Every structure is written in C-alpha cells, then in structure tokens.
Amino acid sequence: MDVSIFQFLNGFAGRSPFLDGVIVFFGERYIYFVVAFVVSLAIFAFARQQPRLIETATLSLLSGALSFVLATTIKLLTHRSRPFLVMHVKQLLSDSSFAFPSGHTTFLCAMAVAAFPEERALGAIMFASAILVGSGRIAAGIHWPSDVIGGLLVGTAMGVATRMVWRHFRRQYANVSPVAFK
C-alpha cells in the first residue's frame, strides 16, 4: 500500500515544469510561508494587545519547534531510507536525513493541533498545510506515505502534549505577579 500510494503521487512529478514547480513549492518552501505568517500574527497580536492570540501563536511555534526535535530523534532511532535510495523515482527534492517521520509534516501538524482549540480557523489551515506539504514531499520522491502519516501522528501527540503542559503551568502560575519572576 505504501509503495502504491507513493507511486501514484510521485507519478505527478516530471509531467510539466509548472506541476514540478507546484510540487517543489509545497514540498519544500511553503512551510516557511506558514511559519512567517504565524510569527507575523504574533507580532500583530502583540501590537494590538491581544493576549489570547499572542499565546496561541507562541504555543503553536513552541509546539512546532519541540516536534522538530522529537522527529529528528525518531529519525535517528529508526534509520528508514528515503524512497529515492531504494527504488527508481522521479526525484524533485533531495534530503540527506532519514525518512521517518516527515519532519515538515510533524512540525506543521504540531503547530495546527496546538493552535486549534483557541483559533480553529488557524488550526484548520495549518492542518491542511501539513497534508499539502506531506503530499508534496511524497510527490517529490523523498517521503513514503507512512512517513507523512507518522508525521501527522507524532505532530498531533506533540501538539496535545505541549498544550497540556502549557495549560498546567498557566493554571499553576495564574495568580503569581510578574514581579515575582524578577
């Protein structure tokens, strides 16, 4: 099943320069636009003094960063080869790290799950972004579908865990004056 889905999506690569550009954009570059958007959102929320939005954007970015560390650790433990190393593929991107889980998908999914309870639209857009990026990376020949599914699962777990720890500390220190931390 992994190979069949991979071959279907990778079959879109090499059909036209325009389609290859779309695949590369979503597979490699789109993640930077999403991160820039969330950082801009945090700056905007800070300027407008919207603490809930500042907290949501910060939590989302923190969850993404932590998920990246976790995904990198899992890659080092699993040593799963990328598709272009084990079979003939139409390769549009390159990556020298191990494949499982997809770090890009993990990162965006963790951001989405962390943001969703407070900002549903933002969370839904980021989750759709995680799927688009993961699909782009499969089509580009550098991930198996199960790498992307694993990224969605690891990202979800990290997003939930980050939100739980955040909520715990927020409740524990809700009545502490900011002066106490100086």
Mean pLDDT over 109-133 rounds to: 93
Which CATH number is 26's domain given? 1.20.144.10
How far apart (Å, rounded) are the C-alpha atoms in residues 73 and 165? 20
Tell me whether residue 37 is in a domain. yes
Evaluate whether residue 182 is within a structural domain.
Answer: no
- Please check whether residue 180 lies inside any domain of the structure: no
The CA distance from 89 to 141, in Å, is: 6
Number of domains making up the chain:
1
Q: Give the pLDDT score at 182.
A: 42
Q: Is residue 63 part of a domain?
A: yes
Judge whether 176 lies within some domain.
no
Average pLDDT over residues 69-74: 95
126 in a structural domain: yes
179 CB-near residues (< 8 Å, 6+ apart): none
- By residue range, what is the domain housing residue 20? 2-171
| C-alpha dist (Å) from residue 127 to 31, 51, 110, 112, 136 | 12, 23, 9, 5, 14
For the segment 126-153, the average pLDDT, to the nearest whole number, is 95
Q: Taking the model in full, what pTM does it have?
A: 0.86
- Split at pLDDT 50, 70, 90, the class of 99 is confident
d(CA 163, CA 167): 6
Q: Is the pLDDT of residue 179 over 80?
A: no
Q: Higher model confidence: residue 50 or residue 72?
A: 72
